Amino acid sequence: MRVAVYYAPALTDPLWTLGAQWLGRDADANAPVVQPDIEGLPAITADARMYGFHATLKPPMALRPGMSWDALVTEAEDLASRIAPFDLPPLKLADLHGFLALVDAEPSPALSALADECVTALDRFRAPADAAELARRRRSKLSEAQDANLVRWGYPYVLDTWFFHMTLTRRLTAEEHLQIRPEAEAMFAPTLKATRRVADVCLYTQSAPGTPFMLAERLPLKA
């Protein structure tokens, strides 16, 4: 099993509904959702669909031998209870090196602090990355800082190299980008400027390699 700590919109937030529709799967119900009738959409969302609609706080990790799911949940609940809820900045659609994603339109120190805390406070539960995983990540031509994070935290894009994003597609060709971006803009634009509260963090689980991630727990932030 792998576990990840994610941000996900509330189930009552229209953004959650649109994200599930766009990707073709609801990670809370672990059920397929009918996608918009957009040419090629099922294929270009296949990878993102497996992970479910989310923004990563602590990347997927296998549990270290001797560490249990129950202990992780307890620790994550304690972490969440120490952090006050806050407003998420407005979102915008962006091209991240060919991937379409929703990103924050302005910096949020509270959001960065939450991600940092999730990475560091729960790291004792993470099984170290093996040589094959390190080699695979390094094929992306990591910066010195990203490589240092990979070695220490098992993932290149954490702490000083972390950025908020909710992935919508795989890397697109120039032609696909011209076709798909206007469709995504039209679908998500009505929801992106809404004020939404970050009131919990989510534990997503993957039962076995190649199976989809499910939203297993929502852990409320400080009351």
Residue 6 main-chain phi, psi, to 5 deg: -125, 160
- Bridge partners of 198, per DSSP, are 86
Single-letter residue type at 165: H
Distance of CA 63 to the CA centre of its chain: 18
Return d(Cα 77, Cα 18) in angstroms, integer. Answer: 28
Q: What is the CA radius of gyration of the chain?
A: 17
- Write out the chain's pLDDT in tens, 223 residues: 999 999 999 999 999 999 999 999 999 999 999 999 999 999 999 999 999 999 999 999 999 999 999 999 999 999 999 999 999 999 999 999 999 999 999 999 999 999 999 999 999 999 998 898 899 999 888 999 999 999 999 999 999 999 999 999 999 999 999 999 999 999 999 999 998 999 999 999 999 999 999 999 999 999 7
Structure confidence at residue 133 (pLDDT):
87
Q: Where are the beta strands (DSSP E) in the chain?
A: 2-7, 25-26, 31-32, 55-62, 86-88, 91-96, 99-104, 165-167, 196-198, 200-206, 214-220
Return d(Cα 204, Cα 172) in angstroms, integer. Answer: 26
SS3 state of residue 40: coil
202 in Cβ contact with 215 (< 8 Å): yes
Return d(Cα 85, Cα 78) in angstroms, integer. Answer: 14
Who's near 37: CB < 8 A, 6+ residues apart?
none
Domain 2-220 fold is: Cyclic Phosphodiesterase; Chain: A, (3.90.1140)
Q: What is the DSSP string of 122-165?
A: TGGGBPPP-HHHHHHHHTT---HHHHHHHHHHSSSSSGGG---E
Structure confidence at residue 67 (pLDDT):
96
Tell me the two tokens of residue 102.
Answer: 């929703």
Q: Global pTM?
A: 0.95
| Cα–Cα nearest to 104, from 187, 174, 165, 43 | 165
